[in-house]
Amino acid sequence: MNIVLMGCPGAGKGTQSAKLQQAFPLYHISTGDVLRAEIASGSELGKKLGEIVNQGNLVPDELMISMLEGIVRSTDKGIIFDGFPRTVGQAQALDEMLARLHRSITHVLMIDLPEEEVVNRICSRKQCKKCGAILRVDAEKPVVSCPSCGGELYTRPDDTPQRAKHRLSVYRQSTLPVKDYYQGGGKYTEINGNQTPEKVFEDIAKILQK
Ligand code: ADP
């Protein structure tokens, strides 16, 4: 099983990836996390990436693909691709890369969310520095530490209302066409993301168990 998990920023890809990993023996690759780790390392490459990512723009395809290939090669497990491909060029490159490795995408899952809900969600979320959990924060009852591991919570620098809106327009322009690339291939399914995380996962699990 090799899954592409699609959806706009804030659709719940990270949350569903965590649930998928608990339920199935899958390896999770989040290109957002890969990029944030490189940025945190303080390397020269990380500095360049930081400028792009914090503005809410996309990292160039060639660079993204070259960073990903080694990670894909490092595991024999089925993979959840979270946040990748984000352009049609990346989708084509992924198919070519997997073919070279005698693997292929088995499911493309699109988590759908109404636009008005997107910015709302993004601007009220925090992430745990230690375990990576994503939490919805209520302004009335702010959470100070991660309820699962006690780690420090932070707001991603690209999660401000202005940058969230920009990411959404980048998504519409560059990532939505990826839907056409996959639709019609018999692997593509849309899931209603405007439900509780548990219900979204139930819908995903039904598709995977077919
Ligand atoms: P979200 O889905 O909430 O936008 P991600 O963690 O998936 O968050 O991505 C954060 C940022 O990392 C993106 O806005 C973009 O700048 C960069 N990024 C992530 N994945 C890719 C990719 N496949 N290609 C180019 N840039 C990417």
Give the mutation target among 59, 120, 155 for probing the ligand 1 site: most ligand atoms within 8 A of CB.
59
Domain around 65? 3-113+161-208
Residues 163, 170: Cα–Cα separation, whole Å:
10
Is there a domain that residue 151 lies in?
no
pLDDT in tens, 113-164: 988 888 888 888 898 989 988 888 877 777 889 989 999 999 888 888 888 8
Buried b (16+ CB within 10 A) or exposed e, 187-207: bbbebebeeeeeebbebbeee
| pLDDT tens profile 3-27 | 999 999 999 999 999 999 999 999 9
Of 16-25, 32-41, 124-133, 179-188, the range with the lowest mean pLDDT is 124-133
List the catalytic residue out of 48, 156, 165, 179: 156
CB 176 within 8 A of CB 91: no
Is 156 tagged catalytic?
A: yes
For residue 118, being part of any structural domain is answered with no
Instruction: Check 86, 121, 126, 163 and give the catalytic one.
Output: 86
What is the tally of structural domains in the chain? 1
**Inside any domain, residue 142:** no
CA–chain centroid gap for 153, Å, is: 19
CATH number of the domain within which 70 lies: 3.40.50.300
pTM above 0.85, yes or no: yes
- 139 part of a folded domain: no
